[in-house]
Amino acid sequence: MSDHTSTRAVHAGEEKRKPYGALTTPIIQTSTYSFANTAEILDFMRRKAAGDRIVRDEYGRYSNPTQSVAERKLAALEGGEQALLFASGMCAITTTFLALLSGGDHLVMVSDSYHRTKEFALTFLNRWQIETTLVQIDEPTALVEAIRPNTRLIFCETPTNPYLRVMDLSLMVRAAKECGVTTVVDSTFATPINLRPLECGVDLVIHSATKYLAGHNDLLAGVVVGPYELLAPIEKARGILGGVSNPNEAYMLLRGLKTLDLRVHRQNENGLRVAQFLEQQPAVHRVHYPGLPSHPDYETARRQMTGFGGVVSFEIEGDLDKTSRLIDRLRLPYIGPTLGGVESVIEQPAMLFSLDPAERQAAGIKDNLVRYALGIEDADDLIADLNQALAGIA
């Protein structure tokens, strides 16, 4: 297979000759798989017991041919041995935690992570005596000091949501390997086009495939990629907990992945141009984008990433209401809590996080913060729309 990501996105994981001569991988719409006779069952069970990875499908909660093709393509894109597809990104994260952590274990998590991920760690895992320590992304000493003898996982996002902080993966990996700790990175914002954490020494990489990987705001899915050995308990847990994807969504994900390289490069271009425009506007207090020299992690991002993504967060000169007026004046983006699709989507995180100002402040969500997930529209049109909206609230 080619070393070029664009070629892998189109062809990796798929057989050249597909059933019935179809050009695209078909949807295998079945919940179970029949056996010809008892001898075939015995052969299947013997091969499964021997650890044969090329065992035929048995039941839809464990695998599906369409799902398996999507998993092979995702593994190829991330450079991993295996990928596991889940019903959502959160399902991928929670199943990974449950499979790799036990009572009495300790988890280190970067504090600037998705609030639902933190909520799961601090509430659900805590019920099973799994303690979580939150550390700041820009405090390497704190990360090292947080590791204990019972620490089993270090988890981070990069870039983070919504402030787009970038973890120095070489530092995290070095600290973890010295202590025998497994590293897990949520790379949803980066995509395998801009960053491949496994190549940096990270053990497992997770994506909300709902976002950039699928790219069309029309499905929910998650994926974990890594070595067979580490994924084995996660795969077993998926079969027990039941958080599987389905063949229709696996097919739609395959379709979206074929244009991943094209879409992300366009979104990288849009992100940088919009961030540069916003940084020059008097009505904008601060822009958060790792492709700008003003970003605190610019040097890390430039060294570690090949592109900076399509999400730009910024703070305007104003309060909650003024920020809402800006959002409402924009004509091109949809208003909603997602990112990574072909359509631009914008949100005022404070409005969707909590109606309680104290809760927003505690979570670091500023009232004047805007998260703009840029699609593949023309950058000139996106900038013109922002220009008129900013002029209207001056």
Residue 55 in this model has a pLDDT that exceeds 80? no
Residues 203 and 350 in one domain: no
Q: Give me the residue label for tokens 């425009």.
A: 277
Q: How distant is the alpha carbon of residue 76 from its chain centre?
A: 16
Task: Report percent pLDDT > 90 for the chain.
Answer: 89
- Which pLDDT score, from 0 to 100, does residue 163 have? 95
End-to-end CA distance of the chain: 54
Residues 252 and 144 in one domain: yes
Longest dimension (CA), the chain: 77
- Residue 56 known to be catalytic: no
Residues 252 and 265 in one domain: no
Residues 201 and 99 in one domain: yes
- The single-letter code of the amino acid at 72 is R
177 falls within a domain: yes
Q: Is residue 67 within 8 Å of 245, Cβ to Cβ?
A: yes
Residues 381 and 246 in one domain: no
Which of the residues 168, 186, 261, 297 is marked catalytic?
Answer: 186
- Which pLDDT score, from 0 to 100, does residue 354 have? 81
- Which pLDDT score, from 0 to 100, does residue 211 have? 98
Ramachandran angles phi, psi of 7, nearest 5°: -70, -40
Residues 109 and 14 in one domain: yes
CATH number for the domain spanning 119: value is: 3.40.640.10
11 falls within a domain: yes
The band of 52, judged by pLDDT with boundaries at 50, 70 and 90, is: confident
Q: Which of 143, 145, 153 is nearest to 107 (CA)?
A: 153
Q: Is residue 33 within 8 Å of 59, Cβ to Cβ?
A: yes
CATH number for the domain spanning 303: value is: 3.90.1150.10
Distance (Å) of CA 165 to CA 109, 138, 282, 308: 14, 8, 24, 11
DSSP one-letter code for 57: P
55 falls within a domain: no
Which of the residues 61, 72, 258, 322 is marked catalytic?
Answer: 61
Which among 227, 257, 287 is the end of a domain? 257
- Which pLDDT score, from 0 to 100, does residue 131 have? 98
SS3 call for 152: strand
Name the residue range of residue 319's domain.
Answer: 260-392
The band of 85, judged by pLDDT with boundaries at 50, 70 and 90, is: very high
Task: Report percent pLDDT > 70 for the chain.
Answer: 99
Confidence (pTM): 0.95
What pairs with residue 372 in β-bridges? 312, 346
Q: Which of 277, 347, 340 is nearest to 309 (CA)?
A: 340
Residues 252 and 307 in one domain: no
- Residue 52 known to be catalytic: no
Average pLDDT on 230-245 reads: 96
Residues 253 and 265 in one domain: no
Q: How many CB atoms lie within 10 A of CB 228?
A: 12
44 falls within a domain: no
Q: Which of 377, 353, 154 is nearest to 267 (CA)?
A: 377
Residues 215 and 229 in one domain: yes
- Residue 116 known to be catalytic: no
Helix segments in the chain, DSSP class H: 5-11, 38-49, 65-78, 89-100, 115-119, 126-127, 140-146, 169-179, 191-194, 228-241, 247-257, 260-279, 298-304, 320-329, 349-353, 357-362, 379-392
Which of the residues 114, 212, 289, 372 is marked catalytic?
Answer: 114
47 falls within a domain: no
Residues 249 and 157 in one domain: yes
37 falls within a domain: no
Residues 161 and 173 in one domain: yes
Which among 222, 257, 292 is the end of a domain? 257
Residues 194 and 326 in one domain: no
The continuous run of DSSP H or E covering 267 comes out as helix 260-279
Which among 220, 240, 257 is the end of a domain? 257
The number of distinct structural domains making up the chain is: 2
SS3 call for 341: coil
Average pLDDT on 308-326 reads: 96
Residue 365 in this model has a pLDDT that exceeds 90? no
Residue 359 in this model has a pLDDT that exceeds 90? no
- Residue 48 known to be catalytic: no
172 falls within a domain: yes
